[in-house]
């Protein structure tokens, strides 16, 4: 119960921040919540199920492009296109999973990376529709859902909060559910889990599809919120980023993705303001993390203070 | 009880009077502070990422132009500051940088980005924040009409204009059967589409279009696709694989007959033309936004600019001949800063409340004469397209030197378009 209260308190703080944050941090918070949603999606595969994918940009960008193209070129209503984003992310993840989950470990990383690269190159190849590496912008009308205009800061923050809240509570429910415990069992010892009678392939496929669905939702929302859909979101960089966010915050923790995303966002923001060698600073922090908190910050907290932190 | 008179004021009235006097004394200073406080310009800089080679020269050019502007009295008598912020040549970070400069650093306007995906990713945010966003980007994205009223490009021409202007020279002097080799992404596609159209308009023909995937590191397998009857090979490769591309092209043709070669200097920006492996390019032609190597007929404005930025006659940094500049593009930063100065002075700039008036003032630009403000040459600003049109240069590599052989007129680069940003709302 204490743990549920803790997570609800975090959501309450995020809801309240909307009214106190200055303009710059207000928009940053909205960005961070959507990117943290992406990290939550990644964390379900990596942190809870032990599936280290290097191809999650495929699901994030898949959701972004599905929504963006449908609303921009398909003439779909934005709300309907927004529903299509997560479905595309989930479907792509399920399809990739059917093939990639026949492998494990480094082979799984390579196969997922391969699919994501193929998708990235396809975006560049069909530039006539996708805008290629330049991408395309979304008009004001494409970003209005009913009476709500996602270009409006308050609406944008609320949309990001609702998305993040749903993903976080969903992840919390999953972590505390029977299915969640099966996923952790698969992560810890797949052979033993299978021996106990669980269909581990099905469990992993479920985890990857759910992970893709949440990633797709984040990508679709990000595109509509900031009015831009671009090929760089499908590049390998966007497969690595959620891994870094999750590792920093704490893999296999519900709040880790938010913490990691926010810290990394502001670390880059701060470092680029004080030095031209900002990437060196980021690299140094990551090395320190690996040396002193290999389970991430919330992993450290869980090890030493809150053993029941989900 | 103390009675107050003019000669014997009470302590309270003295304090009140003192405060009033101090306030009165401070008022003119405040009014003066408003009129002389620095104008703060944000610069979205590709300091890291794939645009870093351009970024460091764009920063250097911006600082040189800033020094000249401030030494000449600033903008409308106010000093000017530039705040540089790294966007990592990434569209997401680019939008965040626009946000940071506008809402945290509270700059008056933003300028400077080159890479088209960063511009397209950032422009929507600039439009939402209603802050002028002046790009130095060369791509066709501004003139295509896909951006917004707040995004302008007064300091460099776009790809469509460049290839439209140069096609006649290629077909008349080098050959009519052209094979194009270009990177398989948007920048290359602009070249493919507009150059093919422009060559056809000149009675020539693009007989093959060879798109190279951006991840490619070796090009040997693409060269056999060059038709034998190719008269001109048009290349516009960018990125670190350029040297390999040229070297392998040289190996492919060997010492045998080869077509005329016409390339964009983008292929070799920040690269020493005397690098080993580039000997094969001897005798080939290049497009240059501005001639990297000092030409005998260089204008006073051009040499002034070259000296101010600290570039030697070969296009390298004065202090380091190995540090080759992005001379074909970086003038755009200089010229954009002067366009900002002209726009601000034309609209009577007081502060951010005049941002819309500034955009309207730039839209009122027409002829932009050559001079120290525009060392690359005169330009004409098309308000509907938010785009400047100017001269283009074609150079030939002779004895390791890029020698100017042709300069196009502004009229050569004009094209028809239905785009009208001035009809868009703010």
Q: What is the pLDDT of residues B255-284, one digit of tens each?
A: 788 899 999 888 788 888 888 878 888 899
Taking contacts as CB-CB distances below 8 angstroms, the residues of chain A near B46 are none
Answer yes or no: do B271 and B357 share one domain: no
- Mean pLDDT per block of 10 residues along chain B (426 residues) reads 45 51 46 72 94 93 98 96 94 94 96 94 94 93 93 96 95 95 86 94 95 84 93 83 82 86 87 83 92 96 97 96 94 98 96 96 96 97 97 94 96 93 93
The answer to whether residue B21 is domain-embedded is no
Contacts of B377 (CB under 8 A, 6+ apart): B370, B390, B391
Q: What is the pLDDT of residue B30?
A: 45
d(CA A143, CA B96): 19
Q: Mutate which of B100, B124, B126, B213 to test chain A, going by most A C-beta atoms within 10 A?
A: B124
Q: Does B47 touch chain A (CB under 8 A)?
A: yes
Answer yes or no: do B107 and B209 share one domain: no
Distances (CA, A) of B218 to A255, B181, B188, B213: 45, 14, 18, 10
Answer yes or no: do B50 and B79 share one domain: yes
Closest CA to A163 of A41, A33, A71, A39: A33
Tell which A residues from 270 to 309 touch B, by Cβ distance under 8 Å.
272-273, 276, 278-279
d(CA A107, CA A55): 12
Cβ pair A121:B213 closer than 8 A = yes
The answer to whether residue B96 is domain-embedded is yes
The answer to whether residue B403 is domain-embedded is yes
| Number of domains observed in the structure of chain B | 2
The answer to whether residue B317 is domain-embedded is no
pLDDT tens digits, A66-114 = 999 999 999 999 999 999 999 999 999 999 999 999 999 899 999 999 9
Answer yes or no: do B141 and B59 share one domain: yes
Answer yes or no: do B403 and B278 share one domain: yes
Answer yes or no: do B206 and B263 share one domain: yes
The ipTM (two decimal places) reads: 0.87
Answer yes or no: do B131 and B174 share one domain: no
Answer yes or no: do B142 and B193 share one domain: no
Cβ pair B189:A132 closer than 8 A = yes
Residue entry with tokens 């490619």? B216
The answer to whether residue B222 is domain-embedded is yes
Answer yes or no: do B269 and B402 share one domain: yes
Q: What is the pLDDT of residue B280?
A: 83
Cβ pair B186:A272 closer than 8 A = no
Answer yes or no: do B107 and B60 share one domain: yes
Closest CA to B110 of B124, B125, B95, B126: B126
Q: Return the H-helix or E-strand segment holding B300.
A: helix B300-309
Domain region containing B386: 37-157+330-390
> pLDDT tens, position by position, for chain A (310 residues)?
788 899 999 999 999 999 999 999 999 999 999 999 999 999 999 999 999 999 999 999 999 999 999 999 999 999 999 999 999 999 999 999 999 999 998 999 999 999 999 999 999 888 889 988 889 999 888 899 888 999 899 999 999 999 999 999 999 999 999 999 999 999 999 999 999 999 999 999 999 999 999 999 999 999 999 999 999 999 999 999 999 999 999 999 999 999 999 999 999 999 988 888 888 998 999 899 889 888 899 988 888 887 777 8
Answer yes or no: do B48 and B167 share one domain: no
Q: Return the H-helix or E-strand segment holding B25.
A: helix B11-36
* Residue of chain B minimizing CA distance to A30: B96
Q: What is the CATH number of the domain that holds B72?
A: 3.40.50.2300
Distance of CA A9 to the CA centre of its chain: 21
Q: What is the pLDDT of residue B3?
A: 44
First and final CA of chain A: distance in angstroms?
12
Answer yes or no: do B112 and B219 share one domain: no
Strand partners of residue B389: B380
The answer to whether residue B314 is domain-embedded is no
The answer to whether residue B75 is domain-embedded is yes
Cβ pair A127:B91 closer than 8 A = no
What domains can you pick out in chain A, each with its CATH number?
Answer: 2-304 (1.10.3470)
Q: What is the pLDDT of residue A125?
A: 85
The answer to whether residue B152 is domain-embedded is yes
């Amino acid at each position: 119960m204490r743990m549920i209260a803790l997570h609800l308190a975090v959501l309450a703080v995020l809801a309240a921040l909307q009214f106190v944050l200055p303009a710059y941090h207000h928009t940053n918070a909205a960005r961070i919540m959507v990117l943290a949603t992406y990290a939550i999606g990644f964390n379900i595969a990596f942190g809870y199920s032990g599936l280290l994918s290097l191809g999650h940009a495929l699901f994030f960008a898949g959701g972004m492009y599905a929504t963006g193209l449908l609303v921009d070129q398909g003439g779909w209503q934005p709300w309907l296109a927004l529903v299509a984003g997560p479905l595309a992310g989930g479907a792509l993840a399920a399809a990739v999973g059917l093939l990639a989950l026949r492998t494990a470990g480094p082979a799984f990383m390579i196969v997922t990376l391969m699919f994501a690269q193929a998708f990235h190159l396809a975006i560049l190849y069909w530039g006539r529709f996708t805008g290629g590496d330049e991408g395309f912008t979304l008009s004001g009308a494409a970003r209005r859902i009913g009476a709500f205009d996602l270009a409006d800061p308050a609406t944008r923050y609320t949309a990001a909060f609702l998305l993040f809240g749903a993903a976080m509570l969903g992840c919390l429910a999953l972590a505390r559910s029977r299915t969640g415990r099966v996923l952790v069992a698969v992560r810890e010892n797949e052979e033993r889990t299978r021996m106990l009678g669980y269909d581990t392939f099905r469990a992993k496929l479920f985890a990857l599809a759910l992970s893709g669905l949440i990633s797709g939702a984040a990508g679709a929302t990000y595109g509509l919120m900031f009015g831009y859909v671009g090929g760089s979101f499908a590049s390998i960089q966007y497969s690595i980023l959620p891994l870094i966010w999750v590792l920093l915050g704490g893999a296999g923790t519900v709040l880790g993705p938010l913490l990691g995303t926010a810290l990394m966002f502001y670390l880059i923001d701060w470092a680029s303001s004080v030095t031209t060698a900002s990437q060196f600073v980021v690299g140094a922090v990551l090395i320190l993390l690996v040396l002193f908190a290999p389970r991430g910050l919330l992993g450290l907290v869980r090890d030493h203070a809150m053993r029941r932190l989900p | 009880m103390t009675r107050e008179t003019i000669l014997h004021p009470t302590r309270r009235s003295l304090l009140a009077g003192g405060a009033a006097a101090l306030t009165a004394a401070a008022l003119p200073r405040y009014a003066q502070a408003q009129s002389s406080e620095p104008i703060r310009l944000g610069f979205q800089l590709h300091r890291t990422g794939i645009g870093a080679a351009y970024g460091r020269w764009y920063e250097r050019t911006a600082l040189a132009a800033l020094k000249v502007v401030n030494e000449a009295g600033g903008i409308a008598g106010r000093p000017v500051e530039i705040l540089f912020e790294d966007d990592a040549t990434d569209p997401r970070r680019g939008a965040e940088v626009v946000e940071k400069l506008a809402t945290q650093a509270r700059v008056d306007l933003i300028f400077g980005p080159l890479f088209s995906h960063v511009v397209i990713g950032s422009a929507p945010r600039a439009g939402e924040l209603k802050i002028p966003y002046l790009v130095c980007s060369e791509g066709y994205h501004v003139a295509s009409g896909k951006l917004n009223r707040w995004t302008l490009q007064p300091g460099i021409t776009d790809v469509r204009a460049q290839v439209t202007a140069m096609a006649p020279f290629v077909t008349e002097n080098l050959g009519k059967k052209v094979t194009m080799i270009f990177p398989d992404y948007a920048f290359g596609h602009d070249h493919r589409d507009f150059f093919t159209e422009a060559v056809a308009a000149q009675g020539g023909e693009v007989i093959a279009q060879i798109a190279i995937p951006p991840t490619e590191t070796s090009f040997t397998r693409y060269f056999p696709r060059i038709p034998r009857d190719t008269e001109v090979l048009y290349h516009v490769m960018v990125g670190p694989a350029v040297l390999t591309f040229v070297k392998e092209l040289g190996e492919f043709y060997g010492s045998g007959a080869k077509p005329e070669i016409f390339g964009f200097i983008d292929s070799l920006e920040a690269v020493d033309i005397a690098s080993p492996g580039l000997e094969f390019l001897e005798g080939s032609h290049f497009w240059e936004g501005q001639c990297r190597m000092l030409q005998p007929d260089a204008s006073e404005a051009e040499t002034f600019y070259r000296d101010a930025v600290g570039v030697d006659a070969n296009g390298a940094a004065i202090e380091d001949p190995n540090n080759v500049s992005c001379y074909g593009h970086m003038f755009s930063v200089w010229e954009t800063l002067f366009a900002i100065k002209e726009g601000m002075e034309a609209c009577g700039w007081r502060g951010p409340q005049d941002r819309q008036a500034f955009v309207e003032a730039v839209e009122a630009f027409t002829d932009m004469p050559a001079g120290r403000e525009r060392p690359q040459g005169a330009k004409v600003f098309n308000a509907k397209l938010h785009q400047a049109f100017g001269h283009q240069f074609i150079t030939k590599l002779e004895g390791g030197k890029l020698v100017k052989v042709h300069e196009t007129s502004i009229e050569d680069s004009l094209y028809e378009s239905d785009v009208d940003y001035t009809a868009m709302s703010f």
